[in-house]
């Protein structure tokens, strides 16, 4: 028989959980904490469940809860440690480095703590990869076929690169990011992958204008100012008059900015972008900027080739 859903039923389950925990029945405690969480989720309870699941060897369950409130794990050094433990035990070494980079940016870890965690992640990954050498070699062989595939197949395959050890991920990314046979969105994805783990060494990157530039992923990969400015201006122009067109244009903007990544700041003319969209997709006629029209024409050709 299911319990009646009275108000504050989460307290009922919390009481049961604490009683089970005090008696050493940790699995029963975990189940009751989960029932309380379903009624009244909170970061504190999320961390408690993730921690207890981790202690019980339920890495999958622990990871599911931690990822649900990942941002809240950045609040304290203790929560950061817990989240990193969960990722390392789950062999998600890329995700661990990405989160460690985020934690470093919010300054909740000392330099010494960061270095200790980097060392631990590296050691655990090296140990894991020794056990997975055959699988890594097979994945490397598969990824080496990337330039010969169609655009859609490249976009599906490239996501597997995060399963590689960090050094191999970096070397393969650097090779593919200057290969003209690799689709631009795939090159953008590779650059973003390096940015997400805080890679600061400059890499060579082939732009959609067929120019090779040297860029630092950590410094160049996170500026979404242009996209935000365009979206704000489109909202001002269309928010009340044509919400359907606005919704479609916002999706168009996201896609075109993805083609520009990580060089959006080189085309920082939000007014000209908005004029281009409104002239093309509405009855409004605006003065157009030759440079923005040229780059949009290039992007539209790439989108056509993709489809």
If asked whether residues 115 and 172 sit together in one domain, one would say no
pLDDT of residue 67: 94
Q: Does residue 119 belong to any structural domain of this protein?
A: yes
Q: What share of the chain is helix, strand, coil (3-state, %, to 5)?
A: 75, 5, 25
For the whole prediction, is pTM greater than 0.75?
Answer: no
Reported as type and span, the H/E element at residue 124 is: helix 111-131
90 vs 109: CA distance, rounded Å: 22
Q: What is the pLDDT of residue 4?
A: 46
Distances (CA, A) of 267 to 71, 286, 289: 31, 18, 11
**126 and 46 part of one domain:** yes
- pLDDT attached to residue 6: 43
Query: Do 248 and 300 belong together in one domain?
Result: yes
Do 76 and 146 share a structural domain?
A: no
State the pLDDT at residue 9: 72
Same domain, yes or no: 76 and 149? no
* Same domain membership, residue 278 and residue 256: yes
Tell me: do 211 and 231 sit in the same domain.
no
Total structural domains in the chain? 3
Q: Of 220, 237, 265, which residue is a domain's last?
A: 220
Looking at residue 5, its pLDDT comes to: 47
Cα–Cα distance, 91 to 164 (Å, whole number): 11
Are 173 and 114 within one domain? no
Q: Is residue 109 part of a domain?
A: yes
What DSSP designation does 268 have?
Answer: -
Of the residues 220, 240, 275, which one is the last residue of a structural domain?
Answer: 220
How far apart are alpha carbons 7 and 113 in whole angstroms?
43
Q: Mean pLDDT, 10 residues at a time, over the chain (307 residues)?
A: 53 90 90 92 94 92 94 93 95 93 86 92 89 87 94 92 89 95 94 89 92 90 84 90 90 90 90 93 86 93 73
Residue 283 burial (C-beta neighbours within 10 Å; 0-12, 13-18, 19+):
exposed
Nearest to 173 by CA among 152, 151, 150, 197: 197
| CATH code of 102's domain | 1.25.40
Give the domain range for residue 87: 41-131
């Amino acid at each position: 028989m299911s319990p009646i859903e009275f108000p504050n039923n989460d307290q009922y389950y919390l009481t049961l959980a604490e009683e089970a925990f005090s008696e050493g029945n940790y699995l029963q405690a975990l189940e009751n904490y989960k029932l309380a969480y379903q009624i009244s989720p909170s970061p504190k309870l999320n961390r408690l469940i993730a921690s207890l699941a981790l202690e019980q060897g339920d890495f999958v369950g622990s990871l599911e809860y931690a990822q649900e409130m990942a941002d809240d794990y950045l609040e304290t050094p203790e929560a950061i440690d817990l989240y990193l433990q969960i990722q390392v035990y789950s062999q998600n070494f890329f995700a661990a480095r990405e989160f460690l980079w985020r934690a470093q940016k919010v300054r909740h870890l000392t330099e010494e703590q960061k270095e200790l965690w980097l060392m631990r992640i590296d050691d655990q990954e090296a140990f894991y990869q020794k056990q997975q050498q055959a699988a890594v070699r097979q994945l490397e062989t598969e990824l080496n076929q990337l330039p010969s595939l169609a655009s859609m197949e490249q976009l599906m395959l490239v996501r597997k690169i995060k399963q590689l050890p960090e050094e191999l991920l970096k070397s393969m990314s650097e090779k593919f990011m200057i290969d003209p046979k690799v689709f631009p969105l795939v090159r953008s994805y590779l650059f973003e992958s390096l940015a997400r783990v805080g890679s600061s060494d400059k890499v060579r990157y082939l732009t959609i204008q067929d120019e090779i530039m040297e860029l630092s992923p950590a410094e160049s990969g996170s500026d979404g100012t242009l996209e935000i400015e365009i979206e704000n201006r489109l909202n001002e122009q269309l928010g009340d008059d044509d919400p359907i067109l606005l919704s479609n244009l916002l999706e168009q903007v996201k896609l075109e900015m993805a083609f520009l990544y990580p060089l959006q700041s080189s085309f920082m003319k939000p007014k000209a972008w908005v004029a281009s969209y409104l002239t093309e997709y509405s009855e409004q006629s605006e003065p157009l900027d030759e440079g923005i029209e040229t780059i949009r024409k290039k992007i539209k050709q790439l989108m056509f080739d993709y489809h």
